[in-house]
Amino acid sequence: MHMYRRTVLAMVTGAALLLSACTGTGGSSKGADAKAPTDPAKVSGTIKVLTVRTDLVQDGTMDKYAAEFNKTYPKVKVEFEALTNYESEVKIRMNTENYGDVLLIPAVIKKADYPKFFASLGTVEERSEKYRFTDFTTVDGKVYGQSPVGVTPGFIYNKRVWREAGVTEWPTTPAEFLTALKAIKDKTDAVPYYTNFAAGWTLTSWTYVNGSVHCDPGATTKLAEGDPWAEDADLRVGDTLLHDIVEQGLAEKDPTTTNWEESKPRTAKGEIATQWLGTWAIVQFQDAAKKAGVNPVDIGFMPFPAQTDGKFCAPVAPDYNQAVNVHSKHKDAARAWIDWFTDKSGYDKDNLAISPLKNAPLPAVMQPYEDAGVKFIEVDDSKGAQVKQIDNQSETGIYAPEYRQKLVDLARGATKGSLDDFFADLSERWTEAQR
């Protein structure tokens, strides 16, 4: 009996090993195109759109967009599937062919693999005439995704609190910024800066400092080829500022138990003065202000405290890029949705975001930016895939929370060590992975 049991087990194991050898293949329809339909009346089919906006699916906003879309494309039925844990869920589903018709390109997919998973939306030449951010999804001259909104990183701040502290001008250097936070600490009851340490992802915004410090469109290429934590490099400047804020006691008392949802109304009410996030957050904080019964006008937005040639700089980057599943049976309908959603839905305006259309005006919230003459730049992303690869290889995680959580722990004295050693360790791992 014992022998027998063993052979069964061995057979099972063997079969499973064979099975596993079969997984991870696919992408047989590599290189397909999703062409823009010429006659809207003829496009038909049911398409499933995957999204991260659980809030918009639940409150029916997405259905309103779909109804509007149906006025042009009456025969297309649009269904939405909102995923709370988008990245990890979609990643697993992408091992099959069933990952919706339209989806947001997960960060985990290697750029070189885009043609295996997504249908092309056209060549980079034709698309870049009309749209921003095309090079973020370009492989071999073909574009595979389009973001419906552009975002720029910056500090969400409570204008009233900053005014009460006597700071009316945006700080132009990290040192001035620290002085301003100190003034807030001394003159008001607000927490000068809130790290949102526990949520984790909020700290990853600090990576998007990249490009603003020196107003350099080639900042991402520098990450791929240089040392991000060298003296005066963008990430080092940003990380040092975060470190100093925490070290000088200008952040919340206990970062480990922060609460993201709670931080929104608290900022609106002026209990928290500042947070480093992005333009995408403005609308959420204004909503929180309305719900808390305070004036949403107090929510302000300011660029990173650094100037080049006397001007602030704001790098504009795409949010999640929408793409068509290469296995979709209704590629033309899926394409129609992406085009309509990007060009005509008004999703960018509803979110007070920067439009992906090159000729569109800036949203009204960015008026102070225009007045201050902030220079908008688009960081070249042709080396973006390489940066991600170095990041994974070195296990640094510039798009993951751990390393900045460690930085905050270091700054508040929960772990021992010096900032220079911390950066030196990061540099060493990064440059080693580059080889």
Partner 1 sequence: MAATAQKAVEQPVAGAESAAPARARRWRGLTPWLFLIAPLTLLIVFTYAPIANMVAYSFTDWDGVSPELNYTGADNYTEIFTREDLFRVFFVSGYYLAASAVQIAAALYFATILSFNVRFRNFFKGVLFFPYLINGVAIGFVFLYFFQDGGTLDSVLSLLGVHTDHAWLGTSTSANTSLAGVSVWRYLGLNFVLFLGAIQSIPGELYEAAELDGANRWHQFRYIIAPGIRPVLSLTVILSISGSLSVFEIPYIMTGGATGTETFVIQTVNLAFRFNKTGLASAAAVVLLLIILLVTWVQRRLVPDERVDLV
Q: Phi and psi for 277 in degrees, rounded to 5?
A: -135, -115
Backbone φ, ψ for residue 319 (5° rounding)? -80, -160
* φ/ψ of residue 407, rounded to 5: -65, -45
Find the shortest distance in angstroms from Cβ 111 to partner 1. Answer: 11
Least Å distance, CB 20 to partner 1, is 4
Q: Contact between 81 and partner 1 (CB under 8 A)?
A: no
Contact assessment for residue 158 and residue 190, using Cβ atoms and an 8 Å cutoff: yes
Given the structure tokens 């290469």, which residue do they identify? 326
Closest CA to 51 of 178, 147, 188: 147
From the list 57, 63, 128, 200, which residue makes contact with partner 1 (rule: CB under 8 A)? 200
Among residues 375 and 406, whose Cβ is nearest to partner 1? Answer: 406
Beta strands 122-123 and 142-143, pairing class: antiparallel
CB of 344 to partner 1, least distance (A): 32
Q: Which CB, 23 or 168, lies closer to partner 1?
A: 23
Nearer to partner 1, 15 or 175 (CB): 15
Report d(CA 406, CA 414) in Å as an integer.
9
Could you tell me the two tokens for 276? 């480093």
Cβ-based nearer residue to partner 1, 71 or 416: 416
Residue 12 C-beta: closest distance to partner 1, Å: 5
Give me the residue label for tokens 């010429």. 38
Question: Is 402 one of the binding residues for partner 1 (CB under 8 A)?
Answer: yes
Query: DSSP letter at 47?
Result: E
Label residue 117 exposed, middle or buried (CB < 10 Å: 0-12, 13-18, 19+).
Answer: buried
From residue 342 to residue 381, the character string flagging contacts with partner 1 as x (rule: CB under 8 A) and all else as - is: ----------------------------------------
C-beta of 412: minimal distance to partner 1 in Å?
8
Nearer to partner 1 among residue 179 and residue 259 (C-beta): 259
In the three-class reduction of DSSP (H, G, I as helix; E, B as strand; rest coil), residue 119 is classed as: strand
Positions that interact with partner 1 (CB under 8 A): 9, 12-13, 15-17, 19-21, 23-27, 87-88, 91, 94-95, 106, 108-110, 113, 116, 197-198, 200, 253-254, 256-257, 259, 391-392, 395, 397, 400-402, 405-406, 409, 412, 414-415
